[in-house]
Structures are given as C-alpha cells and as structure tokens.
A and B are shown apart, each in its own frame.
Chain A
Amino acid sequence: MTEMRWDVAPGDRPTVPVSEQKASSGFLVYTLGLLLAVILTATSFWVANTSAIWAPGVPAGLAVLAIAQMGVHLVFFLHITTGPDSSHNVLALAFGVLIVFLVLAGSLVIMANLNENMMAHTELMNLQMQR
C-alpha cells in the first residue's frame, strides 16, 4: 500500500499501487455490489411474503437485510471503507448514523411510551365509568 498524504474523497476507491491496478477492477467492484444488492433485495421480498419464517421474526429479519444492503451500497458503490485513507469519511458517516439513530429511536420510544400512558389513562377512565 502506497503511503498517502490525504484521505481519499468519498466515492473514490482506495488507491492501489499502480502495479496492481487493472482496468477491470472497478467494473468488478460495481458488478459484485450489484449482485450482492440483488441477492439481498430478493431475500427481503421473499422474507416478507413467505410463511416459512416465524411471523414475529419477520420485521427483525427485514431490518437486518436492509442494514446489510445499505452496507453493501456504502462499500461497493460509495467506496466508503475502513482503510486508513478514508478515516474522515467514516467519522462523518459515524456521526450521521448516531444522529439518525437518536432521531429514529428517540421518536419511536417517546411516542410508544406516550401511547401506552394514554391507553392506561383511557382504561382507567373506563374503569371509573363502569363503577
């Protein structure tokens, strides 16, 4: 691996020594990414429609497949890797993922909690009305 002075830009493939470069390597990366993405997408659609899987486990399976496919897109299409020359891009991505997680999980937890409390309240009111 050649030493480098700068991080690569997102979307740039990590630099490989000229001796190892082939014109077809980029083509291979994209094609491999496409194949993996097609497999994961097809699995997602199968999982959603099959009865072979325990029904309550289906959403978790779909979530795992979607996260895997986003990873495939990041690595094979956007060329975000864990290499030392892409640390800035990965750090920015990590921060983005943190914010996305906070927004999603925060809203869902808070709204589910509110829902539950509201329901308990209506049930209580029903009890009072029954009396």
Chain B
Amino acid sequence: MNVAVEMDAVRQGELLDISEAGPAPKRIIAGFGFWIFLLSDIVMFSALFASYAVLAKASAGGLTGVQLFDQRNVAMETALLLLSSYTCGMMSLAINSRRYFATFLGAVVTFLLGAAFLALELREFQGMIALGATPQRSAFLSAFFTLVGSHGLHVTVGLAWLVLMMVQLSLRGFQEVVVRRLHCFSLFWHALDIIWVLIFTVVYLMGVLP
C-alpha cells in the first residue's frame, strides 16, 4: 500500500469532483472487475450449495455423510487453506513493498499449503470411491462431488496461476501489469477460502449432525 500511495501521490492534496477526476487508474479498474468476477463465481457456488442442501438426504440407501466424513481430515484441510490464505496475505504485503525474495517465499509457502490441501482432498475422494461412494451412487453423492469438486478445481486453477505468476515475476520483475495480476490472484485465493468456510460448515459439520 505504501508504494501504491506514493505512486498515486496526486490523490493526496486537493479533492476533485468525480467529473473532474477522470478515469480511475487501471489497477483499481482491474481489481474492481475481478471483484465482479469473484462475486459471479460465488453466485455459481450458491447454486451448487442450494442443490447440495436439497439433495443432502437423498442417499438412495447408500452411504451417508455420517459414515463418510472424517472430521479430523476436514479440520486439517481447513487449517491448511486458512494458513495458505494468510501466507498469501503476507505475499501481497511483500509485493506492495517490492521485496523480491519475500514475495517468492510467500508464493512457495502458499503453493505448498494449497497443494497439501488438494492432496488431502483427493485422498478423501479416493477413500470414498474405494468404499463404493462414487458420484453415480446417489443424488447426495453427485451433489457432494460437484460442490466440493468444483472448489477443488478452483484451488487447482489457483495453484497453476500462482506458478505462472512466479514465472512472470522472475522474467519481468515488478512491472505494473505483473503486480496487478498478482493482486487479482490474492483476491481469488482469499475468495476460495471464504467458499471453503461455507463448505466445511454446510457439508462436513452440518452433514454429520444427528
């Protein structure tokens, strides 16, 4: 933020009318546009949540959530994703003050935590499928795999994006366009954590209530 303020030093000082201020800097426009995309993504997830909530009891005589969900695994996944969100925040602080090494360190830790989350989730899916709880088995399982799977897919895309950004950063340095993309990435990563909060509450915690 410090650097951003210095770059926009014009902002300090006299207040202009919105009609005189001219267009906002690209950094703000891009951030706002990405925010709109994230909100539309959340709307998509709300549809998946709604279908899961409607179908949660429709297990068609197969395995139910109580038998399938392992709370220790979910707690570990939650901790990993929360910590990776935190290190992503640390990374954006390092970006704001243009610290090269700290940015890479933050990215590596964020990537490792995210990858560990994904590994745990895939192991959980594998265990469920081994028990015969495949997406084809019941409406409950279809809704479960769609909802949790699309979150996992988002995490996968986020990890790929992070790798791409690190390549760009090492090739091009802290160019304005790279910083903007990194900023959008951190928004994406934090939004994924928000969706996970809903998933572990609605699917894993409410799903095992008697």
Q: Taking beta carbons and an 8 Å cutoff, which residues of A are in contact with B?
A: 2-13, 15, 18, 21, 23, 26-27, 30-31, 33-34, 37-38, 41, 44-45, 47-49, 55, 58-59, 62-63, 65-66, 69-70, 73-74, 77-78, 88-89, 92-93, 95-96, 99-100, 103-104, 106-108, 111
Contact = CB atoms under 8 A, between A and B. Distances in A.
Interface size class of B (residues with CB under 8 A): 35 or more
Given A6-B28, A11-B187, A49 B86 contact: no
Interface of B: 1-2, 4-5, 10-12, 14-16, 18, 21, 24-25, 27-28, 30-32, 34-36, 39-40, 42-43, 46-47, 49-51, 53-54, 71, 75, 78-79, 82-83, 85-86, 89-90, 92-93, 96-97, 183, 186-187, 190-191, 193-194, 197-198, 200-202, 205-206, 208-210
B25 A6 contact: yes
B193 A9 contact: no
A48 B208 contact: yes
A8 B198 CA distance: 27
A108 B43 contact: no
A26 B96 contact: yes
